[in-house]
Amino acid sequence: MRILTLLIGWIGVATCYAVDEKRWGLYHVESQGDWQYRTEVSRDELKASPRWVSETEPIRISPMQAIEKAEEEGAKILEDWSNWTLHTVRLNYDQLSDRWFYDVQYAIYGYDGRLKVVAVAFYVLLDGRVISPKRTPRG
């Protein structure tokens, strides 16, 4: 299995792609206090969303619609939702499944002598489905 990890700047947010012949997954993992947040989407979930040809078709969901969908989910699953701030919105293309999706991330910022950022990811597929982070005890 090959694993590629992309670290975004110095804030410690990681988005990982794991690739092998049998299974593919895109995931984002972040920890805050006693909790860990993991967002994961499989190749099959991506393939179930509609294909978009960026050169010839208008996009099915705008960035603003993706943000709204992620916010709806965030308010449902994160107790302290009012403390989270929109961090990034990216439209990503997955070559293996030939599908596009949004990676919408929200963060809590802190400072204890150094900048601390905790970000959670919501993957918004082009059919409107939202893949939300799962919260589990850390450890």
pLDDT for the residue numbered 19: 44
pLDDT at 51 > cutoff 80:
yes
CB atoms near residue 34 (< 10 Å): 8
Secondary element (H or E) of residue 128: none
Most confident of 6-10, 77-81, 123-127: 123-127
* C-beta of residue 100 within 8 angstroms of C-beta of residue 124: no
Integer Cα distance of 73 and 37 in angstroms: 14
pLDDT higher than threshold 70 for residue 100: yes
pLDDT of 70 reads 97
Please give the model's pTM, rounded to 2 decimal places.
0.78
Check residues 2 and 37 and name the one with the higher pLDDT: 37
